[in-house]
Structure formats: structure tokens, C-alpha cells
Amino acid sequence: MSSHEWGEFVLEESTVLTYDASIYESRSGTAEGTLSRMVFSDGRSIAVKPVVVVNLETMDVVGEEEGAIKLMVSASGTFTFHDEHSTLLFDGQWRLDENAAAILVRQHMVAELSARAALSGTGKNAFEGRTIIGELIIRISGQDSSGFGVFKLTGKGTVT
């Protein structure tokens, strides 16, 4: 893979399968997504599984809305992209600008979430010597049968 020029990519939607988070106590968490495709502008694609570690830096209540509270947060953390064989392809850092994510919490559950984070990192294994920059987007896309939020990860950027 290292002999190719990769260029711009889109990370197709990945559903967060597992997450372990504590927004009130430790203000941190980890989210692991399903296998997705990183599709490059020339049509090539690779399978990737995103894993994101989150560290909340600030969290402010900015309002109430029909029995729910609205939070604004700033956060940062790390990310990794692995292939279908669990081989590490990229790792790096991501960051939300201050108060760049709005969260609506209803009955101690996340009811609405949309956040866009800048990411940058380095290639590993087949992508050794490459860099990745772009954005990672997380949003809630409804609820499962248990009433828990279903979270989706997408993104875009460039591999050079």
C-alpha cells in the first residue's frame, strides 16, 4: 500500500457497537465502531474499524428543553483505525473546539448528539510514513429496542 498515493477519503458510516463512558464521574469513555469503508477519491477503498477514546474537558448546562437538559462540551482524545484483521492502520489525536458539541440529555440518556472533531495522525504497518488529517463526526441516529441511543461515526480527510 505504501507505493500508492492515497489522497482524499470519506469514511462511510460506522455504527458504534460498544461504548464505555462516564460523563459525570471520570468524564471519559471509549467507543468502538463496526467495520466500515474508507473510500478514496480514485475509487479504491479499505475496510477500517474506528476506535475513539474521549476525554471531556468542559461540560456546561446551557438550557432546558421539555424536561431535558442541553449541554455544551469541549473534548479531545485519541483514535485508531484497524483493518478487518485487527491490524493497526492509523492512530492519532482528535479535538473538538470549545463548545463545539451540543448534547441533549433526557432521563439520564443522550437524546440528541452531533459533534465534529478535527483529527490528525500517522500511518502504521502498511501505511507507515503516511499522515492522516481530517474530521470525525459522531451523531445519534435514534434508539435501539432497549431505548439506548444508536451512535454513528463518519468522517473525511486526506492521507498523504
pLDDT, one tens digit for every residue, the chain (160 residues): 445 679 999 999 999 987 776 666 777 888 899 999 999 999 999 999 999 998 888 888 888 988 899 888 888 999 999 999 999 999 999 998 766 677 888 877 788 888 889 999 999 999 999 999 999 998 888 777 776 778 899 999 999 9
Whole-prediction pTM:
0.84
Question: Quick one: DSSP state of residue 147?
Answer: S
Judged on CB neighbours under 10 Å (0-12, 13-18, 19+), 52 is buried
Cell of 57: 474537558
Q: How many angstroms separate the CA atoms of 145 and 119, rounded?
A: 32
Is 143 within 8 Å of 112 (Cβ atoms)? no
Coil vs helix vs strand at 4: coil
Is 124 within 8 Å of 88 (Cβ atoms)? yes
